[in-house]
């Protein structure tokens, strides 16, 4: 499931975004200031951030310096119509820029465009010698289907949608098992060991010391 972080201090706008994107099947998390957003990003992994510019604690522009090394796509939300602010946001690494007020249908379209650009909505993902069909939940290598359990497929999809990004064990557990991480890494480690052997990613799916795992492609 695609996870979106909404960083917007105006509650009605935040709720509108959550409702409209939640109806499309995205899982949305809301925070209302820049410091809270930075804290949350140390704990969880997101596929997209909707980021207001004028925020208490730390502005959206300031927060971009923190987000950029994570490689998470960002769409700025702001009431500012000044072209210099739009250009500054894009130069800082934002993928898009929406001026408030906006139409919900426009927001939805822009979100889909950015996610597709990062290959997070593709039905078929080809990576590391594998062909992954996200609709039928099947995996093939050289035309041969590789049978996976539900958790193994969810793990594979998580890494395929986040290549070359180190994922914390806590993040992997929370994303795949959809429950709070209790500090026991054996479940994650055992599933990844089996997944490596099944799909032939013994070298590609690497352990990152004191962090977790990274798919190197």
Segment 40-89, tens digit of pLDDT: 998 888 999 999 988 999 999 899 888 988 889 999 998 766 677 677 77
pLDDT at 179 over 80: no
Whether the bond into 101 is cis, omega within 30 of 0: yes
Instruction: Kindly state whether residues 95 and 132 are assigned to the same domain.
Output: no
- Final residue of a domain: which of 117, 134, 150? 117
Instruction: Kindly state whether residues 57 and 140 are assigned to the same domain.
Output: no
Instruction: Kindly state whether residues 12 and 108 are assigned to the same domain.
Output: yes
> Would you call 71 helix, strand, or coil by DSSP?
coil
Q: What is the model's pTM?
A: 0.64
150, 140 contact by CB (below 8 A):
no
Identify the CATH number of the domain in which residue 99 sits. 3.40.50.2300
- Final residue of a domain: which of 91, 117, 143? 117
CA 35-36-37 angle, 5° bins: 90
Rg (CA), the chain: 18
Length in residues, the chain? 217
Q: How far apart are CA 73 and CA 29, in angstroms?
A: 15
Instruction: Kindly state whether residues 98 and 153 are assigned to the same domain.
Output: no
Domain range for 129 is: 124-215
* Total of domains in the chain: 2
**Continuous segment of H or E residues that includes residue 186:** helix 186-199
Instruction: Kindly state whether residues 152 and 69 are assigned to the same domain.
Output: no
| Mean pLDDT computed over 17-36 | 91
Question: How confident is the model over 12-25, as pLDDT tens digits?
Answer: 999 999 998 987 87
172, 161 contact by CB (below 8 A):
no
> Would you call 145 helix, strand, or coil by DSSP?
strand
Question: How confident is the model over 137-147, as pLDDT tens digits?
Answer: 999 999 999 99
Instruction: Kindly state whether residues 139 and 102 are assigned to the same domain.
Output: no
- Final residue of a domain: which of 90, 117, 144? 117
Of the CA atoms within 13 Å of residue 30, those in its CB half-sphere come to 15
Instruction: Kindly state whether residues 13 and 94 are assigned to the same domain.
Output: yes
| Mean pLDDT computed over 192-209 | 96
Handedness of CA 14, 16, 19, 23 (dihedral sign): negative
């Amino acid at each position: 499931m695609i996870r979106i972080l909404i960083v917007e201090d105006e509650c009605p706008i935040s709720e509108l975004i959550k409702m409209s994107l939640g109806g499309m099947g995205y899982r949305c998390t809301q925070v209302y200031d820049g410091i809270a957003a930075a804290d949350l990003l140390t704990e969880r992994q997101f596929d997209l951030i909707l980021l207001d510019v004028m925020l208490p604690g730390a502005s959206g522009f300031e927060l971009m310096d923190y987000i950029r090394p994570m490689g998470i796509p960002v769409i700025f939300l702001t009431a500012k119509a000044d072209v210099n602010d739009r250009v500054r946001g894009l130069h800082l690494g934002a993928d898009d820029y929406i001026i408030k007020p906006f139409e919900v249908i426009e927001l939805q379209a822009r979100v889909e465009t950015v996610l597709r650009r990062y290959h997070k909505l593709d039905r078929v993902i080809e990576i590391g010698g594998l062909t992954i069909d996200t609709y039928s939940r099947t995996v093939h290598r050289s035309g041969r289907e590789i049978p996976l359990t539900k958790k193994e497929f969810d793990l594979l999809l998580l890494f395929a949608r986040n290549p070359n990004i180190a994922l914390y064990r806590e993040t992997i557990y929370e994303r795949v098992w959809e429950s709070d991480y209790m500090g026991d890494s054996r479940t994650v480690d055992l599933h990844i060991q089996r997944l490596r052997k099944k799909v032939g990613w013994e070298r590609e799916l690497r352990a990152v010391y004191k962090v977790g795992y990274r798919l190197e492609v």
